[in-house]
Structure 1
Amino acid sequence: MTAIISDVRPDDRRHTEGFARIRNRALPFVLYTPDSIAYDVTHAHPDAHYRPLLAEQDGEPIGTAQVGIAHDSAEPNQGYLNVYVDPGHTRRGAGSLLVRTAEEHLAARGATKLFAWVLDEPGNRAFAEKHGYHASRSAHFLRLDLAGSTLPALQSPPPGVELRKGSDFADDPRPLFALDAETMADEPSDIPHEFTDYQAWLQETWHHPLFSAELTTVALVDGRPAAFSAARTDGGTHYGTVMTGTAAAFRGRGLAKLAKNDSLHRARAAGYTEAFTGNDAGNEPMIAINKWFGYEICGTEVRYVRELA
């Protein structure tokens, strides 16, 4: 039977649970929960034209797609579609149907250049190339066994440096927004993002149900936020760092490593047993830091690009 494509409705638990289940099977290195799926749909920026899709066959969810416009990029008319099919239900046409539906949605909203993350496996890469996409940069997923590994010992901050929890900024998180915006500005990416909308950042980052302000660590230099390691959790046993960075004026002093080590130790003490993170394949300094902590590469994605006529 042919797959049926529908929009994910945030108030439909079957939709959000099905979407999260497929993503956790196809992409177990990234945190998804039904609540986070519903939140993303409900709080997406209107200019993103965000449209998560669900492919179903005989009433069973078998495929997903995240589709939208990169509204916070300085370059206009860029869209993205990230398609993942349940590993047990591939080669049934769901992926192609999701791609076609996503491309029609993006083209109707003016997108002329499309980006898609594809797992670095022969079948997935062939699928992308069959649909007219060509390979660009790559990125790694890394995993750390928090329960069984030995973390580097905690170190006392040097003079003038103080470690604080992200939750200490609950009354006014704007300094963290400024730090996040600065560090993201030179993050390797095919789609450079500009963080200029504080309210959007509050919605998409600070108030996100996966974000853990309590396990996020910020390094202050003479009272100014200089480096941080932002944490997400699934409320179970999985913890992830979604951004670790240092403001340009404070680089080369080991502050990001100091902040991340503090966050990892506190995550393990809180009962989390697996830690995940991701790095652009060309970001060798951050990959080296993560390997120093004991992370190992557990998967790789390739960014594929297609120009629309």
Structure 2
Amino acid sequence: MTTGVQIRPVTSADAEAVAALRRAVYEYKIMSVDAARHMITVSSPAERFLALVAETDGQVVGWGSAGLNVWTSEAGQSNISIYVHPDLRKQGIGSTLADRLHQHLTEIGAVRARTFAPPDGLEFARNRGYDGTRQVHYSGVQTAVLPPQPPTPEDITLVTVDQLEPRQVFLADTVASLDEPSDYPMDTADYDEWLEEIWTAPGLDKSLSVAAMVGSEVVCYTAVETDGDRAWSGMTGTIPAYRGRGLAKLVKSVALRRCAAAGITAAYTSNDDENGAMLAVNNWLGYRRVQTELALLRAF
């Protein structure tokens, strides 16, 4: 590793530097400083979450994190994330982070780790035992140029998420997530953990997020996270009984117009290659692909 680089645990004081590093590495991923601080400081104890930064000359130049996934019934599933500033790659920083995080995952009982790698990180990941499973496409749209908003069905009421109780959204989120393309089922979401990690996350703008309602039931919703003049669609989900009616297209169309009115000029999202329905929705909305990453797995 390059002389003068220090690997240390992250602290909340690093939030601004971490958000800036993430933007330098992934221009198409959105995370505000407040959202970065929340990511650093809020996690379930059962995750055994470890986050590290690489620092040189007082500047944060690398990030690494790993922990168990506690939202699945499959024991030992874990996640790992590593990225290094483009100007300091191939100097051993990522390797040092990977070694420490793999040791941590072994110690906490991980049996399999998942990570995501862009094309220029694929060789690094494969050299450490990761193999591909699925493609994930990232795309963006300019909010000033959108297709006409679809009509709202007579039995549907549209509301912003800030008008709802969190339990209403939690129920829709957990149901819609059950058959999302993944390497393991997301079937053990805990309400209190969801409240702390998702609902109260400072990046989530509930006034821009939109839900389709039938009575008091959320049947479709889209969650919008923001950072300045950019937005991110963290999740759009429809409960199974209401799929095939164009509700995802409708709520995203409304949300993007609200984003434009709020001064947001660009919106980004990601879709699994297997999720043809949402890929079609986003193509119709005008999203255009900016990057493709591979979901990768490694056994321990």
Q: What TM-score, normalized to structure 1?
A: 0.93
Instruction: Give 1:157's aligned residue.
Output: 152
Instruction: Give 1:25's aligned residue.
Output: 24
* Cα distance in 1, alignment partners of residues 266 and 242 from structure 2: 30
1:288 aligns with 2:280: yes
Instruction: Give 1:129's aligned residue.
Output: 126
| Amino acid across the alignment from 1:34 | V
Q: 1:273 to 1:178 in 2, by over 3 A?
A: same
Structure 2, gaps ≥5 residues long: none
| Amino acid across the alignment from 1:162 | T
Deviation of 1:195 (Å): 4.6
* Cα distance in 1, alignment partners of residues 172 and 188 from structure 2: 10
Instruction: Give 1:55's aligned residue.
Output: 54
| Amino acid across the alignment from 1:304 | L
Question: Which deviates the most, 185-194 or 56-65?
Answer: 56-65
Deviation of 1:222 (Å): 3.9
1:187 aligns with 2:180: yes
* Cα distance in 2, alignment partners of residues 109 and 273 from structure 1: 43
* Cα distance in 1, alignment partners of residues 158 and 241 from structure 2: 18
* Cα distance in 1, alignment partners of residues 136 and 24 from structure 2: 19
Per-residue CA deviations over 1:250-284 (Å, capped at 9, x if unaligned) read 11111111111111111101110010000001111
Structure 1, gaps ≥5 residues long: none
Instruction: Give 2:243's aligned residue.
Output: 251
Deviation of 1:74 (Å): 0.9
Runs of 4+ in 1 over 4 A off after TM superposition: none
Per-residue CA deviations over 1:97-142 (Å, capped at 9, x if unaligned) read 0101111111110112111111123xx1111111121122110111
1:103 aligns with 2:99: no
* Cα distance in 1, alignment partners of residues 76 and 123 from structure 2: 26
Instruction: Give 2:11's aligned residue.
Output: 9
SS for the counterpart of 2:73 is: coil
Deviation of 1:57 (Å): 2.5
Instruction: Give 1:83's aligned residue.
Output: 82
| Amino acid across the alignment from 1:39 | H
Deviation of 1:205 (Å): 1.0
Instruction: Give 2:141's aligned residue.
Output: 144
Instruction: Give 2:230's aligned residue.
Output: 238
When the two structures are aligned, how many residues end up with a matched partner? Answer: 298
Deviation of 1:163 (Å): 0.4
Deviation of 1:180 (Å): 0.4
Q: What TM-score, normalized to structure 2?
A: 0.96
SS for the counterpart of 1:262 is: helix
Deviation of 1:189 (Å): 0.7
Question: Which deviates the most, 36-45 or 134-143?
Answer: 36-45
1:116 aligns with 2:115: yes
* Cα distance in 2, alignment partners of residues 78 and 229 from structure 1: 27
1:203 aligns with 2:196: yes
Deviation of 1:92 (Å): 1.0
* Cα distance in 2, alignment partners of residues 139 and 155 from structure 1: 27
Instruction: Give 2:217's aligned residue.
Output: 224
